[in-house]
Amino acid sequence: MNPSVDFQHRVVLVTGGTKGVGRGIAQAFLASGARVVVCGRTAPESPVTACGARAEFVACDVREAGAVRELVEGVVERHGRLDVLVSNAGGAPAADAATVSPRFHEGIVRLNLLAPLHLAQAANGVMQRQEEGGVIVFIGSVSGLRPSPGTAAYGAAKAGVLSLATTLAVEWAPKVRVVAVSPGPVLTEQAHLHFGDADGVAAVAGTIPAGRLAEPADVANACLFVASRQAAYMSGSNLLLHGGGERPAFLQAANASPMGRSDAPEASTQTRADDSSTRNVTQQMEVPMRTRKRAWVLAGPALAATVSAGLIASKTFDPARDAPQAPAGMAAEQNYPAGLQSMPPGHRVSWESIFRERWAHH
């Protein structure tokens, strides 16, 4: 047992703790020595166990506020306290937001936003009376942080849960910490409902930098940490658990980016004329992003301010023509930095405004 996540003599309630992510969370707390209570609308086919310990099951529909109050009161009556609430129950089937019924949307919001709020409210009432307070962990989702097509109400509800975590952390401090853990796609026994067959799961996994979907144990380990003494200063926070996130779609679509498609054709450049003079003009007009970054580094803060303001000149800088005269006693070559002198003529930028400002302070 890891002493940093020792939950001996602690009482933990995990909603939706009979299957999937919730079951993994309950098993992790059991393995850490906690007394665990799980709830669901129906009893699990097999009990939730780990390391010889067994979770207590209570039937409860968390969408009903009255049932939630009875659930929490029953836990305290039987175990004397409640130290950790993991509000995990939730979910939603795919549906078209344009055509689905208002009743459907209301049900999704009740399960994924109002139920966590009612649970947290009941748990807080108990924890505030305890000397050591307690911890409330909301299981959020990356769907609350990005577009959630096909599950619009679910994404909106999860965004609301993240807002709850920040607000309740302020209202209920210092006795009660409130945190959220937001996983990305998780591989559970119901993954096929979202991702299809094994090929579909593999395809989704291929979009994640970590190269795989999360597993219930990954989410469980995060919950152990945020509920532990090691995270005593963590409140109002959202722990993202997404394996590096999702590769931006524009990178896959863009054919000019080196991070884009591997089969993308090389980006076309301005058509080059045959005669050398026209070709030279073309080269001078090109100002690649890589060269701009180089200019930023070489020229220092003044250029950084100029570039960030979007003041890249539309003409080539000619020091003999355009550079301001240095004050008396200052060498002429100081009119512009050596780093700029080493750059190809077509990649230099206008320095007039920069030097006027600099010389004014000499």
Q: Report the share of the chain in percent with pLDDT over 70.
A: 69
Residue 190 has a pLDDT of: 83
- Per-residue pLDDT band for 321 (boundaries 50, 70, 90) equals low
Under 8 Å CB-to-CB from 344, ≥6 apart: which residues?
A: 283, 284, 291
- Position 193 confidence tier, pLDDT thresholds 50, 70, 90: confident
**Tens of pLDDT, residues 264-278:** 444 444 444 444 444
Q: Which has the minimum average pLDDT: 44-53, 94-103, 149-158, 325-334?
A: 325-334
How much is the average pLDDT of 17-23?
97
Q: Count other Cβ atoms within 10 Å, centred on residue 240.
A: 16
pTM over 0.75: no
Catalytic residue of the set 7, 138, 154, 351? 154
CB 55 within 8 A of CB 106: no
Three-state secondary structure call for residue 134: strand
Burial class (CB in 10 A: 0-12, 13-18, 19+), 140: buried
In order of their start, the domains of the chain are: 3-251 (3.40.50.720), 276-360 (no CATH)
Q: Is the pLDDT of residue 38 over 90?
A: yes
- Residue 261 has what pLDDT? 47
Q: What is the pLDDT of residues 122-152, one digit of tens each?
A: 999 999 999 999 999 999 999 999 999 999 9
Pairing mode, strands 35-40 and 11-15 = parallel
Q: Respond yes or no: is residue 233 known to be catalytic.
A: no
Tell me the average pLDDT of the chain. 80
How many CB atoms within 10 Å of residue 67? 17
Q: Give the model's pLDDT for residue 249.
A: 81
Residue with the larger pLDDT of the pair 315 and 89 = 89
Percent of the chain scoring above 90 in pLDDT: 64
Q: Which residue type sits at 16?
A: G
Residue burial 89-124, b: 16+ Cβ < 10 Å; e: rest: bbbbeebeeeeeeeeebeebbbbbbbbbbbbbbbbb
Question: Residue 339 CB: number of other CB atoms within 10 A?
Answer: 14
Confidence band, pLDDT 50/70/90 cuts, at residue 285: very low
CA distance 74 to 270: 74
Q: How far apart are CA 20 and CA 35, in angstroms?
A: 19
Helix (H) or strand (E) holding 296: helix 289-299
pLDDT confidence bin for 191, thresholds 50/70/90:
confident
Cβ count near 283 (within 10 Å): 15
Around Cβ 62, how many Cβ atoms within 10 Å?
24
Cβ atoms of 113 and 63 closer than 8 Å: no
